[in-house]
Amino acid sequence: MGKPLEIADLHIHSKESAEVQNMSGGKRPEEILDDIAGPREFTRQTYQGEEVRVKAVAFTEHDVICNRSRLKRIIEYGRKKDILVIPAIELDCTHDYLDQIHINCMFFFNSLNAALENDEFKNLIEITKSGRRESYQFTVSELIGHGHVNPAVQDMLVEDMPSLFSILSNPDYCTLHSEFCNVTEMKKWLKKERYFRTRTKPKAEDIARLARKIGFIFSIEHSRKIEDKRKTAQDRYITERDRVQLIKDLAPRALQVFYPYDADQEFCRAKGIDKDVVRRWEESENKRIMNSSGELTVPIGGSDFHSVYGTRNPRRVAECFTFMHDLEQLIDIYTKLK
């Protein structure tokens, strides 16, 4: 067999994310890097018959960036494994009538220091954290008020769905443990009973503005599942035409694009993407996506791996990844943004 195809996975979660900390099987960044570098899941994958090897990752932790000393250790550990580690963060935000957008911010070179020292960016992170806390405090208070949960739970730290699920599934704390079998069913029930309140989130346009001001790269993630609070689209998710408008509004320099062409033809046509390019981006340089400012928008992907039971398995990494050539283009864009 020839040399493996080198790729990057620009959407990975480790135990540094609060959600993963509270879920069984969560792995530290070093453990994930060991898996990637070793003869296990990540390296056994193939893409169109070719073996692949992950050479770069972005740890896109939810609403948090590791402190600098911890991050330095992770980056150095990745270097020992011959894997480039890119500091990143995944933020939930809103835009106009869109209630939930996931945006990944990736920091190359000194852009992370610039972000961590910027008061606007620090405030944006605090909005996400305080909104998350307030939402779960509301849920716990409602459940206590309706007699479903022991008042002692009020003093417990609840900052994510998995930790809330662990409480509500415990008969010592709650009378509802037989109502749902997983986090998704629990969330549906909480929304139906109006015990769950949408949390305060930063605005996507503020992230886009800061990206240009500070000099980091951001991408729109999970773009088939951006929630439309108008509830006019099927399943409350925006249409392909709405998504194209969102891209025009925010003008990202990277975009998570890994859909099969036949499943999303309107979007692909609107962006000038043909079937061959979706199948293999580097075969057709003249089909690269341009944003509303006439700038290159690089197609990227990631596994959204959470290293825990019930989330995306690393075996799917070959279905949604970034070519190293595209990562090099992102880095080149960054050098011009500085």
More confident of the two residues 24 and 124: 124
DSSP assignment of 80-139 equals: HTT-EEEEEEEEEEEETTEEEEEEEEE--TTHHHHHHT-HHHHHHHHHHHHHHHHHHHHH
Give me the pLDDT at residue 107, please. 93
Give me the pLDDT at residue 315, please. 42
Q: Tens digit of pLDDT for each residue in 215-231?
A: 899 988 876 567 777 76
Q: Are strands 5-12 and 50-62 parallel, antiparallel or unpaired?
A: parallel
> What is the band of 58 on the pLDDT scale with cuts at 50, 70, 90?
very high
Query: Which residues, other chains included, contact 286 with Cβ-Cβ below 8 Å and sequence gap of 6+?
Result: none
Query: Which residues, other chains included, contact 6 with Cβ-Cβ below 8 Å and sequence gap of 6+?
Result: 52, 53, 55, 324
The listed CATH number (1.10.3430, 3.20.20, 1.20.120, 3.40.720) that belongs to domain 5-108+217-337: 3.20.20
Q: Are 95 and 207 in contact (CB under 8 A)?
A: no
Q: Is the pLDDT of residue 314 over 50?
A: no
Q: Tens digit of pLDDT for each residue in 60-90?
A: 988 888 788 889 999 999 999 999 999 999 9
DSSP assignment of 170-196 equals: -TTTBS-TTS-SSHHHHHHHHHHTT--
Highest averaged pLDDT of the listed ranges 195-199, 282-286, 308-312: 195-199
Give me the pLDDT at residue 76, please. 95
Number of Cβ within a 10 Å radius of residue 25: 12
Helix, strand, or coil here: 232?
Answer: coil
Helices 68-80 and 29-37 cross at an angle (nearest 10°) of: 10
Mean pLDDT value across residues 47-60: 78
Q: Are strands 50-62 and 84-95 parallel, antiparallel or unpaired?
A: parallel
Sign of CA dihedral 147, 150, 156, 161: negative
The alpha carbons of the chain give a radius of gyration, in whole angstroms, of 20
CA 185, chain centre distance (Å): 21
Q: Is the pLDDT of residue 280 over 80?
A: no
> What is the band of 312 on the pLDDT scale with cuts at 50, 70, 90?
very low
Q: Is the pLDDT of residue 278 over 50?
A: no
Give me the pLDDT at residue 313, please. 44
More confident of the two residues 58 and 278: 58
Give me the pLDDT at residue 160, please. 74
Q: Which of 1-5, 138-142, 293-297, 334-338 has the lowest mean pLDDT?
A: 293-297
Q: Tens digit of pLDDT for each residue in 256-268?
A: 765 444 445 554 5
Measured between alpha carbons, how far is 144 from 132 in angstroms, rounded to an integer? 19
Mean pLDDT value across residues 237-242: 64
